[in-house]
């Protein structure tokens, strides 16, 4: 063969293999399973909810957002269809009012709404849209705005958003900055033009700064009701040009200057497709940490969607230059990335553990952020109820995440545990009496406000145990003994005559008006009834079982939890999705399905776990409904762990309860590059034994050491 032809063939083959290799790298393997719309549709089925929704109610299920985000990012760029709603977007809605740049799913955030408009009618803005002309993927969202005839595409980086608008009409193109609106209350706002194609400004409330630039000139910036909640701003773009309008926006919680720097460093002159590709690759890398074989398509879709959803909160709050606004509203720089507080009442149970297993660097900086707040305020912060920074920090520390000021953090946690004015209300009463009382109210209602004394006592007991584990590791024997003694305080709420955790009066008597099936938001229980909290002692299950008279009495009571029908007249908005008295739709009893394992009845646990996995996630006609509020990823993380067959029953302790995975094989690449393989060779679902590296395991718990060394867990079933 002649030499030039040989060279030509070689070059052709080289190009062919290079192109195919590039395609192979960009082909989505795991992001393709993620459906970001899961959790955006409302749950309406009374058979699942446990009751008929009252007229005008939308269930508090899901409350997720479908837009673009990177893991734990500052910018979460998503459409808004209803202000004042859980996450801004409701699948059943038909109008989009803007695209906002922050999110969580707790009726807050949704800052800096921006909307491209064309020939708007009056001062009412928003466009109808159809799900048929809408799509999404991790790091990407697209929708066609029917009224304005604009196709919108969105992608994002950690601190910046990238909008692309394809206008059908290339004249009268406008962009609305609806700065008087957000899910959080807006106190004030401002915007100014700072270049022919750039604006910057501020939205008060969450105190977010922004800098935005376009690829086309701004003819005019017009403000209506400047700075007021009724107000907005409109950018009028220069006519001409058929190319898509591109808007790049940087956010900062420090200054417009930092917002601009964030934008320049993270996006700069790079194209929309480049940013979108990088976002997709970031998610591919994270999701590929856990690779599953077997299972149905729906199970894989739900697994990777839940894994994705587990990594959206906490959110980054420091800029590319390291600056952030601290708890005292001062601009500081510590050398660590600064994050929002985790949604601790929800996420300490499982999500914070998952975060540490997959991205320990993020967990480390989250702990440093909590410590920074503690240094400025005197207390490690909490979220909503309990003092569960104790568990999240202790759990991370005991799993080997220890490159932080452990002694200083421990001192703050001790202060939390002993001093009034911090995250533990009524701590003095708790220390003196060993419980927190509630008043005896003649006719308590769901909305009755009191101390939630039962829930607080149980949760503080677990928090005491968590801090005690740090004390033990640090050699603080005195505090270890005190806290471990206090960790038994949960027993003081157990009424042997009713076999429930029951409220007590200040004088120690039991509250008389007691209905164990009635749910309360803050009376005796926090968003729960007596059934749902009476199995909570994850740090001392043998002690709890003993209160019920031993394994038989405990089993009988636990059976009733899952079989006693829910009273459909008992309606509390976020106590929903019932299996008997058990509530999958809210957090307080999420450990209960695993409790049978402590009396050597794993098959009973597996039956309930399987029912939840297969029937209470991805439900409804379109498979987009969740059985409860995702709560910053807790509901999703419950699914991830349960589907893998490993659950952190006590999140503080560096060990995991083993159940039957949904998949035939799981390969988990640990954070130090080892491989943990979980396999279930049999077809059955009843776990009979567990093998670790080929040897029969003693019981159903495995150590966190497997994440350090790698290894193989084989789940034997019948």
Question: Per-residue pLDDT tens for 356-413?
Answer: 999 999 999 999 999 999 999 999 999 999 999 999 999 999 999 999 999 999 999 9
Boundary residue ending a domain (264, 289, 314)? 289
Predicted local distance difference test score (pLDDT) of residue 558: 98
Cα 657 versus chain centre, distance:
22
Instruction: For residue 534, tell me if it sits in a domain.
Output: yes
CATH number at residue 134: 2.70.98.10
Helix (H) or strand (E) holding 605: helix 602-615
Please tell me the total count of domains within the chain.
Answer: 2
Only one residue has tokens 């009726």, namely 107
CA dihedral of 236, 239, 244, 245, whole degrees rounded to 10: -20
Predicted local distance difference test score (pLDDT) of residue 309: 98
Instruction: For residue 281, tell me if it sits in a domain.
Output: yes
* 216 and 124 co-located in one domain: yes
Predicted local distance difference test score (pLDDT) of residue 22: 42
Using one digit for the tens of pLDDT, what is the confidence trace for 305-348? Answer: 999 999 999 999 999 999 999 999 999 999 999 999 999 999 99
State the pairing for strand pair 711-717/675-679. parallel
Instruction: For residue 238, tell me if it sits in a domain.
Output: yes
> Which residues touch 19 (CB under 8 Å, ≥6 apart)?
none
* 514 and 380 co-located in one domain: yes
> If we measure between CA atoms, which residue out of 526, 621, 617, 533 comes closest to residue 577?
617
* 298 and 263 co-located in one domain: no
Task: Domain of residue 102: give its range.
Answer: 64-289
Boundary residue ending a domain (289, 313, 341)? 289
Only one residue has tokens 């002993």, namely 418
Using one digit for the tens of pLDDT, what is the confidence trace for 436-449? Answer: 999 999 999 999 99
Mean pLDDT rounded to a whole number for the chain: 95
Predicted local distance difference test score (pLDDT) of residue 240: 76
CA distance 292 to 306: 14
Tokens standing for residue 189: 């706002």
Predicted local distance difference test score (pLDDT) of residue 450: 97
Number of neighbours of residue 516 by Cβ within 10 angstroms: 19
Instruction: For residue 50, tell me if it sits in a domain.
Output: no
Instruction: For residue 11, tell me if it sits in a domain.
Output: no
* 411 and 280 co-located in one domain: no
| Alpha-carbon separation of residue 227 from 36, 188, 192, 612 (angstroms) | 34, 5, 12, 48
Boundary residue ending a domain (289, 319, 341)? 289
* 514 and 560 co-located in one domain: yes
Using one digit for the tens of pLDDT, what is the confidence trace for 199-257? Answer: 999 999 999 999 999 999 999 999 999 999 999 999 999 987 789 999 999 999 999 99
Using one digit for the tens of pLDDT, what is the confidence trace for 246-294? Answer: 999 999 999 999 999 999 999 999 999 999 999 999 999 999 999 999 9
Tokens standing for residue 545: 């079982």
* 441 and 586 co-located in one domain: yes
Q: Are 189 and 125 in contact (CB under 8 A)?
A: no
Instruction: For residue 23, tell me if it sits in a domain.
Output: no
The answer to whether the Cα torsion of 321, 342, 419, 390 is positive or negative is negative
* 454 and 547 co-located in one domain: yes
* 131 and 191 co-located in one domain: yes
Predicted local distance difference test score (pLDDT) of residue 2: 53
Average pLDDT over residues 107-126: 93
Q: Is the pLDDT of residue 493 over 70?
A: yes
CATH number at residue 466: 3.30.2080.10
> If we measure between CA atoms, which residue out of 65, 72, 122 comes closest to residue 96?
65
CA distance 64 to 67: 9
Predicted local distance difference test score (pLDDT) of residue 123: 83
| Core vs surface per residue 427-448: b (16+ CB within 10 A) or e | bebbbebbbbbbebbeebebee
* 317 and 210 co-located in one domain: no
Q: Is the pLDDT of residue 95 over 90?
A: yes
Predicted local distance difference test score (pLDDT) of residue 575: 94
The length of the chain is 718
Instruction: For residue 332, tell me if it sits in a domain.
Output: yes
* 226 and 350 co-located in one domain: no
List, edge to edge, every strand of the sheet that includes 695-696.
290-293, 665-669, 675-679, 711-717, 687-692, 695-696
| Alpha-carbon separation of residue 26 from 7, 461, 605, 715 (angstroms) | 29, 49, 41, 34
* 337 and 233 co-located in one domain: no
* 399 and 441 co-located in one domain: yes
Instruction: For residue 380, tell me if it sits in a domain.
Output: yes
Look up the pTM and report it: 0.95
């Amino acid at each position: 063969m002649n030499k030039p032809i040989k060279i030509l063939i070689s070059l052709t083959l080289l190009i062919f293999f290079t192109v195919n290799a590039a395609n192979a790298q960009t082909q989505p393997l795991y992001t393709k399973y993620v459906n970001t719309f899961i959790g955006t549709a409302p749950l309406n089925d009374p058979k699942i909810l446990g009751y008929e929704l009252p007229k005008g109610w939308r269930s508090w299920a899901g409350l997720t957002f479908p837009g673009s985000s990177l893991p734990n990012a500052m910018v979460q760029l998503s459409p808004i269809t209803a202000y004042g709603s859980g996450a801004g977007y409701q699948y059943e809605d038909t109008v989009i009012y803007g695209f906002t740049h922050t999110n969580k799913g707790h009726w807050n955030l949704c800052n800096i709404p921006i909307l491209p408009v064309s020939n708007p009618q009056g001062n009412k803005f928003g466009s109808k849209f159809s799900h048929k002309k809408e799509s999404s993927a991790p790091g990407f969202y697209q929708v066609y705005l029917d009224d304005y005839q604009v196709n919108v595409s969105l992608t994002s980086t950690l601190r910046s958003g990238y909008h692309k608008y394809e206008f059908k009409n290339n004249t009268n193109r406008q962009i609305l900055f609806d700065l008087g609106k957000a899910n959080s209350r807006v106190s004030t706002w401002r915007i100014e033009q700072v270049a022919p194609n750039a604006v910057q400004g501020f939205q008060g409330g969450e105190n977010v700064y922004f800098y935005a630039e376009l690829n086309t000139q701004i003819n005019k910036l017009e403000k209506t009701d400047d700075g007021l909640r009724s107000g907005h701003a409109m950018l009028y773009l220069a006519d001409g040009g058929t190319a898509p309008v591109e808007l790049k926006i940087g956010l900062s919680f420090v200054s417009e200057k930092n917002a601009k720097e964030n934008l320049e460093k993270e996006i700069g002159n790079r194209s929309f497709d480049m940013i979108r590709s990088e976002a997709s690759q970031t998610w591919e890398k994270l999701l590929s940490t856990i690779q599953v074989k077997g299972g149905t398509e729906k199970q894989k879709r739900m697994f990777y969607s839940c894994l994705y959803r587990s990594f959206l909160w906490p959110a980054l709050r420091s800029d590319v230059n390291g600056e952030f606004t601290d708890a005292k509203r001062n601009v500081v720089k510590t050398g660590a990335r600064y994050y929002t507080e985790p949604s601790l009442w929800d996420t300490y149970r499982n999500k914070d553990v998952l975060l540490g297993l997959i991205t320990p660097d993020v967990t480390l900086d989250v702990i440093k952020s909590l410590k920074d707040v503690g240094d400025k305020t005197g207390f490690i912060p909490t979220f909503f109820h309990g003092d569960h920074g104790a568990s999240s920090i202790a759990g991370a520390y005991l799993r080997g995440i220890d490159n932080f000021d452990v002694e200083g953090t421990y001192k703050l946690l001790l202060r939390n545990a002993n001093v009034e004015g911090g995250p533990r209300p009524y701590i003095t009463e708790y220390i003196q009496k060993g419980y927190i009382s509630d008043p005896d109210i003649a006719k308590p209602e769901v909305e009755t406000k009191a101390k939630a004394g039962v829930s607080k006592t149980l949760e503080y007991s677990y928090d005491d145990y968590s801090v005690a584990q740090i004390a033990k590791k640090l050699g603080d024997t005195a505090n270890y003994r005190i806290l471990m003694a206090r960790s038994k305080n949960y027993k003081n709420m157990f009424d042997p005559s009713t076999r429930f955790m029951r409220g007590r009066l200040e004088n120690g008597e039991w509250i008389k008006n007691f209905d164990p099936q009635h749910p309360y938001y803050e009376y005796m229980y926090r968003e729960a009834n007596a059934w749902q909290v009476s199995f909570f002692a994850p740090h001392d299950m043998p002690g709890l079982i003993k209160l019920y008279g031993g394994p038989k009495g405990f089993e009988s009571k636990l059976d009733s939890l899952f079989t006693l029908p829910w009273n459909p007249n008992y309606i509390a908005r976020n106590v929903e999705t019932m299996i008997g008295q058990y509530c999958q739709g809210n957090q307080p009893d999420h450990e209960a399905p695993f409790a049978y394992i402590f009396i050597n009845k794993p098959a009973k646990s597996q039956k309930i776990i399987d029912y939840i996995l297969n029937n209470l996630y991805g439900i409804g006609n379109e498979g987009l409904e969740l059985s409860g509020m995702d709560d910053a990823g807790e509901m999703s993380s419950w699914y991830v762990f349960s589907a893998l067959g490993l659950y952190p029953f006590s999140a503080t302790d560096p060990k995991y309860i083993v159940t039957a995975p949904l998949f035939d094989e799981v390969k988990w690449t640990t954070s130090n590059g080892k491989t943990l393989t979980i396999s279930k060779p049999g077809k059955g679902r009843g776990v009979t034994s567990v093998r670790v590296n080929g040897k029969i395991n003693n019981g159903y718990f495995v150590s966190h050491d497997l994440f350090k060394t790698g290894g193989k867990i084989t789940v034997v079933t019948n």
